[in-house]
């Protein structure tokens, strides 16, 4: 589906600036994986998937650093940590 205002990369090129999508990071993906593996050393992806209510495959991608976890997942994990 196209955006209402056209291709954002083409629009940025027209106005003479560089368009970079996804440069904001909430937390480093590597640090996220390290902390989660310290909290749940066995079946880490399964624990994170259960907390985030998503599949184990998606959680494994977050843990590997391939994709950044959403803020709501970070909040859910912080809530889980403080419940202990």
Instruction: Tell me the average confidence (pLDDT) per consecutive run of 10 residues in the chain, 84 residues long.
Output: 59 55 60 89 93 92 87 89 80
Q: What is residue 4's predicted lDDT score, i.e. its pLDDT? A: 53
On whether the pTM is more than 0.75, the answer is: no
Q: What is residue 59's predicted lDDT score, i.e. its pLDDT? A: 92
Residues whose CB is less than 8 angstroms from the CB of residue 46 and which lie 6 or more positions away in sequence, other chains included: 56, 59
10: in domain: no
Q: What is residue 46's predicted lDDT score, i.e. its pLDDT? A: 94
65: in domain: yes
Q: Which domain holds residue 32?
A: 25-83
Based on the structure, what is the number of domains in the chain?
1
8: in domain: no
39: in domain: yes
Residue spans of alpha helices (H) in 1-84: 8-15, 29-39, 44-52, 56-64, 71-83
């Amino acid at each position: 589906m196209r955006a209402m205002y056209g291709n954002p990369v083409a629009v940025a090129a027209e106005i003479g600036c560089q368009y970079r999508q996804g440069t904001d990071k909430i937390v480093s993906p590597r640090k996220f994986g390290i902390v989660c593996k310290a909290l749940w050393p066995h079946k880490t992806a399964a624990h994170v998937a259960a907390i985030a209510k998503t599949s184990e495959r998606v959680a494994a991608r977050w843990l590997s650093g391939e994709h950044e976890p959403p803020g709501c997942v970070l909040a859910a994990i912080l809530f889980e940590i403080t419940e202990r």
